[in-house]
Amino acid sequence: MPGGWELLVILLVLVLLFGASKLPQLARSLGQSARVFKAEARGMQEDDEAATRARAERVDSPELTRGERAASTTPPARDRQRDESGN
């Protein structure tokens, strides 16, 4: 962490480079960039957590191979209609 003298030198260099009138605009822009960066980092972390949860759910539930149907307690509507019509 820079000490008092280092901060003073950095501030002096910024004033010389950008001028005193542009420093508030520069600070505002820097603050907005930091907020956007934090929001994006948080979004990426949430995406990673969601992917991890989805991966865990896939491991917990068995995968169906092509042509298999998930076991269900109620038959699909098409089968129920066929059963009710007596065919």
Per-residue pLDDT tens digits for 3-46: 888 989 988 898 888 888 888 898 899 999 999 999 999 999 99
From residue 66, alpha-carbon distances to 35, 69, 70, 76, 78 in Å are 47, 9, 11, 18, 20
From residue 58, alpha-carbon distances to 44, 52, 53, 69, 74 in Å are 21, 10, 9, 16, 23
What is the pTM (predicted TM-score) of this model? 0.47
Rounded Cα gap, residues 21 and 17, in angstroms: 11
State the average pLDDT over residues 68-74: 56
Distance of CA 71 to the CA centre of its chain: 34
